[in-house]
Structure 1
């Protein structure tokens, strides 16, 4: 018969949760040798079949609303207690007075489809996580929406560059694995500090590190956060030296001002910054001294009431001429 030879499972069950009839396909889906074995073993569908015991009541409630269910998906136990996904299409059968007699319907094994969906969802989550490791969340959202290129102007941004002094000579004495291990330790600590101070890491270039405050979401304490990050970076290098018996030093430069930030190009996206503010911050680092934090006069004016500074004086800055700079010493 059609019922006996059907690929999908076919059933009739009582409102109380026992099977009145099942076909061979349903027995096979549930892991039983025959319909008779299934009906004999399954005395309470709610407790024995569904992984979630409340699922049977949800099945009944859905039928009560519309008289039927379509594509009702559930995780169930097979005879050997392994779990599979099924999809049920069912309806309520009533007598002429409207009294419920039984439920009847079909069952499909959708485990492969559900596993494929779960794998796709996991891949989506992993891709999203990877994207957020590369781009700020708000920028990633705009890119996914198709916006390109992305370019925004920010009026109040703090920019920090840091460089490991003498690391080129140090690297010549290390194996590649040792070099990567120590760089990873240093930059991972810097990453932790950036997250702690809610700053945006922009990039690393060799042994240089760039981080900014005040974008992509503007904030009032953008200047204070970057200054504290710089001080914490020096402290973290000191701790690392004690731990590794090394003499690493970091040179840090900070500037504050207006920048353009965004994403350009069509491949290997990176969120980057442009403008004179960025160039000056880079020069503050490159013209600085090991173990010190050099800042521009603009930065000094923003922070002088909250942090202690020492005037360095007028220095010659490549591409900028003479500039008055300061050393950031600590909090007041």
Structure 2
């Protein structure tokens, strides 16, 4: 194609040369240019569909892993609300209160820190939290 665009006409291939090049692409079979182009487009489309299908399957597997982890960590009703993008309203019970917390900026902090620094940060944070809990009549379940 690039040769066909050459400014100097003597540098452009003749139609016979183009047909011969297409014959080599088609391994000597006699086909016309349009058939060859359509066949190449169909092959490209098929390859693209296969790639999209493959990536969609990979995405679905990762989504299932994420949902499984979420439901293992949180009560089902809380997990479902979070998946829908809803806020989870605190609930109170006469004998128990559940407390869920979020560390603002944790993703950014984690990305900019070494793994051991993240572990130390969480350890220090929850040690302080445990000390505060210890001064009240509460019991923490990990």
| TM superposition score category, shorter chain reference | 0.3 to 0.5
Larger helix proportion of the pair: 2
Larger Rg: 1
Larger strand proportion of the pair: 1
- Where relative contact order (Cα < 8 A, 6+ residues apart) is larger, the structure is 1
Q: TM-score, normalised by structure 2?
A: 0.42
